[in-house]
Amino acid sequence: MTVIPNSMQARDIAFHIHPQTNMRLHQSEGPLILTKGDGVYVYDDAGNKYIEGMAGLWCASLGFSNRRLADVAYEQMKMLPYGHTFYSRGHPPSVDLAEKLIGLAPVPMSKVMFQCSGSEANDTAIKTIWYYFNAIGKPEKKKIIGRERGYHGTTAAAVSLSGQPHMHAKFDLPFAQFKHTSNPHYYRLHEDGESEEDFATRMAANLEQLILDEGPETCAAFFAEPVQGGGGALTPPATYFEKIQAVLKKYDILFVADEVICGFGRTGNYWGSQTYDLKPDMLTCAKALSASYMPISAFMMKDEIFEAIATQSDDVGSFGHGYTYSAHPVATAVALETLTIYEEMDLVGRVQSVSPQFLERLEALKAHPLIGDARGVGLLAGMEIMRDKATREAFDPAMKVGERVQNVALEHGMITRAMGDRLALCPPLIITSSEIDEIFDKLTAALDTVNDQLTREG
């Protein structure tokens, strides 16, 4: 891409630092500037149209032009554009949304706290876990367990919990009290002849061994996404969570379900916890909570946890935590309207009605020469790009085959995401049958193009 002097791209290069971006490469190639959205489509500053196969960052559940959400934001801005929730203050949208979320929780929850992002929600959960165990007289319980390739955010604590090496490198992270158990990536990591159930047994045994090595009395909590997002849109192998939860219960370790991507219909149920029969002690959510029209997240906890930290806060004088924009009135009003829209459109029923076609087209990709494995649930899918699918031989990472497919798909007018040589799809939940076909037709064309390129290159 040639960057024109004084263009939007040139000004962006001059002044803006982008997250999760190779900064040096960005200086030469510049950004893709999106200027508007309509339904499941977005448009760049040159007028090019793209179907959004990733709902932005797994989040634009209602697409990009929902007038009701814009109107609610405008009306709330006129009524009360800002109000904090420190020092026992509140406002109607925060009360209504908290009550609504507790009523929707997949397991009984007692209270909810609001933040601005999934990272902040998980960070809040981590701090609350430490506060809780101090409150009940178990201050030695400090270690938090995540999973290799798991993703829970980018604050210092949340990224320490995440199992993403490139997000630890050169940041002096993770912090010492964060530990990581095995990545349950069955396709890549199973042994020859090992069934999904046997693989899940091995994963649970690895978690138990980690707990024993660290000392069960020091282990406080385990975090998991029902379906790993940033780790490659990985669905769990059969019986995995059943066996993991048994280990956690055995050693009195709290289970936190990170529903930031999976919550609000993505997996074909309202919560990923319902899809995989999870019984979390705490739950975090964000993204589709407001269809990402406003930055907001929520962290829910069971009553026994709330009661302990409430007593502790009384002893200390306050619960010394919070954010300036926690439960922002505009964000909570938009989130509340989002949940109302979900009810009116029968969101879960809608996802269940189009998911079979989505998963059927996904399954068909297994026949493509470049696709070694493809798995999904609801409207969430991950595909494994392999050099030799029979032997599970991967491409040299330096070839960046996944990134090549991603870039060619963009040229075809479709946005997907490559995480190494793994591709993900996570379209807006309003997607139609014809739009599902458009996504897979364009992805198949991109795969064909890259396969032809690799064949010519030998």
pLDDT tens digits, 378-393: 999 999 999 999 999 9
Q: What pLDDT does residue 458 have?
A: 83
5 has a pLDDT exceeding 90: no
CATH class, 32-65+347-457 region: alpha beta
From-to residues of CATH 3.90.1150.10 in the chain: 32-65+347-457
The residue among 368, 358, 361 whose CA lies nearest residue 431 is: 358
Q: Higher-confidence residue: 2 or 162?
A: 162
Under 8 Å between Cβ of 251 and 216: yes
Q: What is the CATH number of domain 69-345?
A: 3.40.640.10
Helix (H) or strand (E) holding 94: helix 92-104
Under 8 Å between Cβ of 414 and 406: no
Q: What pLDDT does residue 2 have?
A: 74
Q: Which pTM value belongs to this model?
A: 0.96
Under 8 Å between Cβ of 132 and 308: yes
Strand residue runs (E) in 47-141:
49-52, 111-115
From-to residues of CATH 3.40.640.10 in the chain: 69-345
Q: What mean pLDDT is predicted for residues 4-9?
A: 88
Q: What pLDDT does residue 6 have?
A: 83
- How far is the C-alpha of 17 from the C-alpha of 31, rounded, in Å? 11
- How far is the C-alpha of 333 from the C-alpha of 97, rounded, in Å? 8
The bridge status of strand 41-44 relative to strand 34-38 is antiparallel
Cα 118 to Cα 145, 274, 287, 300, 305: the distances in Å are 18, 20, 7, 12, 20
Q: What pLDDT does residue 1 have?
A: 62
129 has a pLDDT exceeding 80: yes
10 has a pLDDT exceeding 90: yes
Q: Six-digit token pair at 295? A: 């930055």
Residues 6 or more apart from 175 whose CB is under 8 A from it? 156, 157, 160
